[in-house]
Amino acid sequence: MITLYFYLEKSLGTFLFMRKVIVMKKEELDIILKSTNDAVIVINAIEKITLFNTAAERITGFQEKEVIGKPIKEVIISTRLPYVLNSGEAELNQRQLLGNTTIITSRMPVKDEEGRVIAAVAIFRDISEVMDLTHQIYKLKEMQSLLEGIFHSTQDAISVCNEKGIGVLINPAYTRVTGFTEEDIIGKPVTADIAEGESMHLQVLRTKQPVKNARLKVGSQKKDVLVHAAPIIVDGELKGSVGVLHDLSEIKKLTDELITAKQIIRKLEAKYLFEDIIAEDEGMLAALQKAKQAAVTPATILLRGESGTGKELFAHAIHNLSQRRYNQFVRVNCPAISENLFESEVFGYVEGAFTGARKGGKRGLFEEAHGGTIFLDEVTEIPISIQAKLLRVLQEKEILRVGSTKPISIDVRIIAATNIALEEAVKEGKFREDLYYRLNVIPIEIPPLRKRKRDLYSLVLHLINKYNQEYGRKVEGISQEALRSLENYDWPGNIRELQNYIGRTFINMKYSEKIIEEEHLPKFIHKDVSFLISEKENIDNTAKGEDKSLKEMVAKAEKAYIKEVLKKYRGNRTLAAQELQISLRNLYYKIEKYEID
């Protein structure tokens, strides 16, 4: 008979413990030990193996007949059974590496009736599979947490039902869209949220096929939604349905906001498209075709043409066809900026750069146009001292603010325009030759109106429609006689002059008149010699009454003539400067000098 003392101890639900003395025959004990899933090793008082069951064979890889009678340390090097044998103290639920296997083991002394330790027993189990299972469970929980996070944070409204059509899950976005809470949906039929239409969940459960773009009304407010639904199939078995709802009212609102934003951008920035440019003449059509081809490239463009031919219109259209169309379009009227302010306005300045500089500095127009297009109108009026900085922008793609030594990288597409021959300006030393070559990458010549008379009729009709809206008129067209009169004129002011001329024509017409006749056309104004004669007479009469210096008399005549030319062109300073044969900058100076309104 063998007497063993086992202490019952639960460890991972797998270990065998006993609290009472079991006395049985050795044959019965062998059968029990061989059939248990727990490995058992027993050593005697001299540390030799006396019992090695089947489970121990499986875990260690040794056979019972090979190890019985051998010292335990020759078989299992890391064993602590000798320590338990000598100390008489049990070690319960200890983790131990056994080769490549991790085990949980309990080691206990075996005592006789007098309390002497006569053997030691180890009961252990391979927990590698348990650890793998635990890792898989952890990963599943991690994935579940991730999916729950996505499910609850997405802006799409989602609902899930089981195979019986009962709601099991909704997310916060679903509550926001429909107004229903979890208490209203979970555990209820999927038709609970439908105000009008058929439940897509039921259709999916019936057909086992997904449904897309279904229109429904949900909730007490009958909110219009777009639904996508799909079956949930696990191992070939239908487990339920998942649906995604999109609030159509919100989509419509966002669409309207986008349209409005685009309209505002077009209105405030680049307003015109190539479709807005009227052209039937071959020369103008060729210019349009070249501009369209250039628009889709990042190259610098130089628009050349007389004043009033529509260079700015081309610049707008090029920007709106380019890849930069959703970014800034900045127009710089070069002659309108005084020379001493030009650098700070265009390139910006840092705080303290000069007296009166804004705190924190100021972004220049090139920085404002970053990512978009900058249009340099009348580029020849840029001061020669500033042209070197513009050349740096073209070469290095960076600007330097006034008062700063730190360059700022920019991404700007430059469109320049001029109404004079740049080649002549280069020869006269008014324009840098290296800058000319940098700007003249893609030159586009826009023909003057006198060379595109074929477009005149279409332009007049366009202007008639424009002034009908502005003046509340219903003019329908122009007579052949009146059109011939327009065709016989050279239009030195080009489209701008034609626009003003048709506007004056409307004033000459009665509200009941529908067709522009020759009698309605204002007289074409050329240089009025009689004005000069009369003005000379006024000067002579003034001279008789009081003494005036020649300088004062010339200044008075100059002021009077500038006022008359400005009046002729309805305040258009570009046309006036061209008529006076002076630069636009010089004209601005004289207007300020003589205090001309």
All CATH 3.40.50.300 domain ranges of the chain, comma separated, are: 269-445
Question: Which residue, 57, 22, 20, 19, is CA-closest to 36?
Answer: 57
Classified as helix, coil or strand, 476 is coil
- At residue 1, the pLDDT reads 32
- At residue 297, the pLDDT reads 92
CATH superfamily of 269-445: P-loop containing nucleotide triphosphate hydrolases (3.40.50.300)
- At residue 516, the pLDDT reads 92
All CATH 1.10.8.60 domain ranges of the chain, comma separated, are: 450-520
For 445, phi then psi, to 5°, come to: -90, 120
- At residue 241, the pLDDT reads 92
- At residue 313, the pLDDT reads 92
All CATH 1.10.10 domain ranges of the chain, comma separated, are: 529-593
- At residue 26, the pLDDT reads 57
> What fold characterizes domain 529-593?
Arc Repressor Mutant, subunit A (1.10.10)
The DSSP code for 589 is H
Instruction: Quickly list DSSP for 362-390.
Output: EE-HHHHTTTSEEEEETGGGS-HHHHHHH
- At residue 480, the pLDDT reads 92
- CATH 3.30.450.20 holds for 2-127: yes
- At residue 215, the pLDDT reads 86
Beta-carbon contacts of residue 154 (< 8 Å; ≥ 6 apart): 171, 173
Q: What pTM was computed for the model?
A: 0.47
- At residue 25, the pLDDT reads 54
Quote the crossing angle between the two packed helices 456-471 and 480-487, to the nearest 10°.
110
- At residue 134, the pLDDT reads 74
The DSSP code for 448 is P
All CATH 3.30.450.20 domain ranges of the chain, comma separated, are: 2-127, 154-250
Classified as helix, coil or strand, 73 is helix
> What fold characterizes domain 154-250?
Beta-Lactamase (3.30.450)
What Cα–Cα distance (Å) separates residue 305 from each residue in 383, 426, 442, 479? 21, 17, 14, 30
- At residue 537, the pLDDT reads 45
pLDDT tens over the chain, length 597 residues = 333 333 333 333 333 333 343 444 556 666 777 777 788 999 998 999 988 888 888 888 889 888 899 998 888 888 888 998 888 889 888 888 887 788 888 999 998 888 888 999 999 888 776 777 777 877 878 777 777 777 777 778 899 999 999 999 888 888 888 888 888 889 999 888 888 888 889 999 999 999 988 888 888 778 888 899 999 998 889 999 999 988 887 777 766 666 555 544 444 456 788 888 988 889 999 999 999 999 999 999 999 998 888 999 999 999 999 998 888 898 888 888 877 788 888 888 888 777 666 777 888 888 888 999 999 999 988 888 888 888 888 888 898 888 888 888 999 999 999 988 888 889 988 899 999 999 999 999 999 998 988 899 999 999 999 888 888 888 999 999 999 988 888 888 899 889 889 988 998 888 888 999 988 888 764 434 344 434 444 544 444 444 556 667 777 888 888 888 888 777 788 778 877 878 777 787 788 888 887
23/29 Cα distance (integer angstroms): 9
- At residue 299, the pLDDT reads 92
Q: How many of the other CB atoms lie within 10 Å of CB of 469?
A: 8
CATH class of the domain at 450-520: mainly alpha
- At residue 420, the pLDDT reads 86
